[in-house]
């Protein structure tokens, strides 16, 4: 290679070739479908449900949001532990920044715990 050439030129060429390698079959398939294979949409084919039964209702329905409490509890008792263990192991050698970041993380999650507690979510029913 000439010394005045950009050393990243090869990378750019390879990236272009890789993109072409991936895009050419997609474009060919699209062109084939566009010019030779007529689309045949229909009522059954565009239905939401696909088990042979007649679709009833709409897919755009209201989902209840109570699940967020399970999400919070999972973060508090499961994900937090994953970070707490290495935090405890390397506690003595941590710089101040890492300590503060970890405390912020803990405070955020404890806030969630307090929220779930006050909601009565931790009571055994």
Partner 1 sequence: MLESTAMIDEGLKSELQKQGVYVTSLQELYNWGRANSVWPLTFGLACCAIEMMAASMSRFDLARFGAEVFRPSPRQADLMIVAGTVTKKMAPLVVRLYNQMPEPKYVIAMGACAISGGPFKQGYNVLKGIDRYLPVDVAIPGCPPRPEALIHAIMTLQEKIRNQALTGPNRPRHLNADIEGEYPVPAYGQNDLEPPKNSEVWQPPPIQR
Binding to partner 1 by residue 53, rule CB under 8 A? yes
Tell which one of 3, 52, 93, 95 touches partner 1 (CB under 8 A): 52
Binding to partner 1 by residue 64, rule CB under 8 A? no
Cα distances (angstroms) measured from residue 46 to each of 29, 42, 54, 59, 82: 21, 6, 12, 12, 44
> How many residues line the site for partner 1 (CB under 8 A)?
15
- Choices 12-20, 51-59, 75-83, 95-103 (CB under 8 A): range interacting with partner 1: 51-59
Count of Cβ atoms closer than 10 Å to residue 110 Cβ: 12
- Which is closer to partner 1, CB of 51 or CB of 96? 51
CA distance 106 to 4: 53
Contact 77, 44 (CB under 8 A): no
Which residue, among 90, 88, 82, 89, has the nearest Cα to 109 in the 3D structure? 82
Q: How far is the CB of 18 from partner 1 (least distance, A)?
A: 23
Q: Which of residues 28-47 bind partner 1 (CB under 8 A)?
A: 36-38, 40-45, 47
- Which is closer to partner 1, CB of 37 or CB of 65? 37
The sign of the dihedral angle between the CA atoms of 56, 59, 64, 67 is positive
Interacting residue ranges for partner 1, rule: CB under 8 A: 36-38, 40-45, 47, 50-54
């Amino acid at each position: 290679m000439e010394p005045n050439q950009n050393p990243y030129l090869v990378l750019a060429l390879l990236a272009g070739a890789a993109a072409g390698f991936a895009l050419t079959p997609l474009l060919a398939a699209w062109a084939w479908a566009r010019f030779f294979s007529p689309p045949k949409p229909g009522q059954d084919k565009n239905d939401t449900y696909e088990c042979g039964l007649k679709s009833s209702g709409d897919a755009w329905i209201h989902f209840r949001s109570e699940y967020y409490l399970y999400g919070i509890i999972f973060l508090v008792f499961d994900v937090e532990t994953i970070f707490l263990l290495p935090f405890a192991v390397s506690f003595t050698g941590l710089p101040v920044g890492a300590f503060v970041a970890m405390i912020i993380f803990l405070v955020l999650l404890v806030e969630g715990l307090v929220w779930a507690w006050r909601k009565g979510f931790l009571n055994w029913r």
